[in-house]
Amino acid sequence: MGILSLLLWTPATGALLLAFTPGQKTNLIRTIANLFTTLAFFLSCGLLKLYKQDSPDLQFNEYFPLNPNVGSAYALGVDGVSMPLLIMATLLSSIALLASYKPIKNIKGYHLCILLLEFGMLGVFLAQDWALFYIAWELTLIPLFFLIGRWGGQRRHTASLNFVLYTMGGSVFMLISLLAISQYDLEHVGSLMTTMHQAAKDMPRHEQILVLLGFLIGFGVKMPIFPLHGWLVLANVEAPSPVSILLSGILLKMGAYGLIRAVNMLPEAAHLLQPLLVFLALFGMIYGALLAWRQTDLKAMIAYSSLSHMGIVLLGIAALNETGLTGAVLQMTAHGFISGTLFLLIGLLYDRTKTGNINGYNALIQIMPRLSLFITLALFAGMGLPGTLGFIAELQTIMGGFQQWGGLMVFFSMTFLISAAYSIRTISHLLTGPVKPNLEHLNDLNARETFAAGLLVTSIIGFGFMPSPLIELSAATITQMIHQINQRLI
């Protein structure tokens, strides 16, 4: 078994072991789940150490034919775009379990679903076959449906059904696009993903546009992009906070990752649809930021800010240049760390106070100084303050956008201002003012919670001051992608 298979099947093995563990053995269940998510994280770190970042090619390839007639295979591989997302997926899965130590009904089912969700996410980022990619993509819906619907808030059933219907509806368009490409004569050179890349070159332009629109809808629902974001806020507000960490930190990146692969496969269509893509990106950025500014519920604010930040990712992809795509990949990583930190801290705060309303808090810096420090740094990173990873990602994206569209980036600058407005307002509400009597008894973060939040914040600040390792990790792959796109557009 190769290292990629070992990484992929580690959480699935943990889920299988949990299935045979008695449900009343709470400590054993927590130990097993944490052990396997931690093991997956260490395996991904080992993979990073072995990864040759100066090579643009897929690495650690594993290939086993499944259906030679259609060219599908158990094909795994990793490159500079998927590598940072793998690390983040395993890290945030471990963080989510560290944040799941409050009493939970049916604790066995909860931890089993978390492990299955991690298995599906890793499958999406590792798959080098469109059939395998689609299976892993759909697999994530099952545990998320139960995690939101069984352990969520008061409107959990509506939220879980809304999420599944939106995502399944988008998946239909993705499947139609895949079937449209498969109608051409596939030469079965390597995996189905490689074969379909070859077939896409021979498609007429109008068909390429229709296929990319199908991918845009399918992946756009999960990112999400305007106007396909209807599920986002309700799902994040009603989901348990540890699940929101994964939902916002990783699941949204699956859509962006899939769209990058689709644009690389259909660059002519992407070039023709550039005006649409940049409009959706800029409108979504401003629209999401304005709605975040209007929220009084903290989780709803973070959810709408995610819509704005993922618009930045779409803008970087739409630029079709190296700087923009680098910014998109950096923004995916930055947003994963930032939103993961915010949902972690807001969730811990909610567990102590049972309210997510921003008007219910004052003077937390006097009562919970550690939480106040971490949440301030995360909000500063979300508004793109220099010295944070958010600044580096947004700077790269706006530079790529300026190379392509020039003065149109003034709308990007408006997003900065709105983000600063709601971030500073949130900090002011949470940290200043007199101490409310009902908050005096609150306990600050314990050692386990401080470690989890500190790890994420350290990554945000550390990569903000030293972004080179993260940029260089993806540089060779992105350069090759842009070279291939430019060759097709000549």
The tens digit of pLDDT for each residue in 469-490 reads 999 999 999 998 898 888 877 6
Residue 116 confidence (pLDDT): 95
Residue 88 confidence (pLDDT): 93
Length of the chain: 490
Provide mean pLDDT across the span 218-247.
88
Residue 85 confidence (pLDDT): 94
Tell whether the model's pLDDT for residue 120 goes beyond 90.
yes
Do 404 and 324 meet the contact criterion of CB atoms below 8 Å apart? yes
- Give the pLDDT band (50/70/90) at residue 191: low
DSSP type of residue 21? S
Strand partners, 264: none
Return the ∠ at Cα 24 (arms to 20 and 29), rounded to 5°: 60
Mean pLDDT of the chain: 88
- Give the pLDDT band (50/70/90) at residue 280: very high
DSSP type of residue 434? P
Most confident of 178-192, 225-239, 271-285, 427-441: 271-285
Residue 340 confidence (pLDDT): 92
- Give the pLDDT band (50/70/90) at residue 69: low
Q: Could you read off the pLDDT of 293-340 as tens digits, one per residue?
A: 988 888 899 999 999 999 999 999 999 899 999 999 999 999 999 999
Q: What is the crossing angle of helices 156-182 and 141-151, to 10°?
A: 170
- Higher-confidence residue of 238 and 42: namely 42
Task: Report phi then psi at 76, rounded to 5.
Answer: -120, 150
Cα(94)–Cα(158) distance, integer angstroms: 28
* pTM of the complete model: 0.92
Cα(329)–Cα(342) distance, integer angstroms: 20
Provide mean pLDDT across the span 46-58.
89
Tell whether the model's pLDDT for residue 266 goes beyond 70.
yes
Q: What is the crossing angle of helices 447-465 and 322-353, to 10°?
A: 160
Tell whether the model's pLDDT for residue 8 goes beyond 90.
yes
Residue 61 confidence (pLDDT): 87
Q: Say what percent of the chain tops pLDDT 70.
A: 96
